[in-house]
A and B are shown apart, each in its own frame.
Chain A
Amino acid sequence: EAGVTQFPSHSVIEKGQTVTLRCDPISGHDNLYWYRRVMGKEIKFLLHFVKESKQDESGMPNNRFLAERTGGTYSTLKVQPAELEDSGVYFCASSQVGLDMLDTQYFGPGTRLTVL
């Protein structure tokens, strides 16, 4: 079974440009999460989709970030315009609630974003 995949693995852009990150969850997983780690900080939650609906977007830093999950499959996270402080590693995770009402989140390898 394929795991969570993310594209691209690395992205280097200039301040003011736009970047779109993509996440493909594990097939059949309704839950999709975005997290990020900025330099020297802890991994922080950004938002959570259940299928195509945003369940919790309390971690989104500002309106320069737009996440979508059309059709409830893959998700994109767009940063427009990018700022220097957006640099970091963006992780995606997916999960499915089991019969025990628990969901274990499985993470992708991350996208390293560098804004110059």
Chain B
Amino acid sequence: DAKTTQPTSMDCAEGRAANLPCNHSTISGNEYVYWYRQIHSQGPQYIIHGLKNNETNEMASLIITEDRKSSTLILPHATLRDTAVYYCIVRPSQGGSEKLVFGKGTKLTVNP
């Protein structure tokens, strides 16, 4: 079972920031937070990951609370092409490669 809780759906206006929350209250010290998204009919796309520090890349920013029990993915200027299902996933950082456990994710709709 997924170890994260996300809202089922969210809406955002085009050009505005989209802030997608994720709760992972049972996260362990060696577990990272990963974000993927799935645009309709495509394969899941990696967005960003982090352990405890905030992270930023060309796609998004990831803000992790100090207690690591929740995080927020930020798309700074959402476009219509960002409409997708966004998945927050926790997985171990050591012990070799681990499978991804997908939950239901958040369906983000970016409106014009």
A interface residues, Cβ below 8 angstroms from B? 4, 31, 33, 35, 42-45, 48, 50, 55-56, 59, 91, 93, 95, 97, 101-110
Cross-chain contact A95 with B97 (CB below 8 angstroms) = yes
Q: What does the 1/0 interface line of B15-50 toward A look like (CB < 8 Å)?
A: 000000000000000001010001000111110010
Say whether, besides A101-B93, A102-B93, A104-B49, A45 and B43 are in contact (CB < 8 Å): no
Cross-chain contact A107 with B49 (CB below 8 angstroms) = no
The residue that A91 contacts in the complex, of B44, B93, B96, with Cβ under 8 A, is B44
Say whether, besides A101-B93, A102-B32, A45 and B101 are in contact (CB < 8 Å): yes
Say whether, besides A50-B97, A95-B97, A102-B93, A44 and B102 are in contact (CB < 8 Å): yes
Cross-chain contact B100 with A105 (CB below 8 angstroms) = yes
User: Would you give the shortest CB distance from A8 to chain B, in whole angstroms?
Assistant: 15
Cross-chain contact B43 with A108 (CB below 8 angstroms) = yes
Which 10 residue pairs across A and B have the least CB separation, nearest first?
A107-B43, A45-B99, A43-B102, A107-B44, A103-B97, A31-B97, A109-B43, A42-B102, A110-B43, A91-B43
Question: Would you mind naming 24 contact pairs between A and B with Cβ atoms under 8 Å apart?
Answer: A4-B43, A31-B97, A33-B99, A42-B2, A42-B102, A42-B103, A43-B38, A43-B102, A45-B99, A45-B100, A48-B99, A50-B97, A55-B96, A59-B99, A91-B43, A91-B44, A95-B97, A101-B93, A102-B49, A104-B34, A105-B46, A107-B44, A108-B43, A109-B43
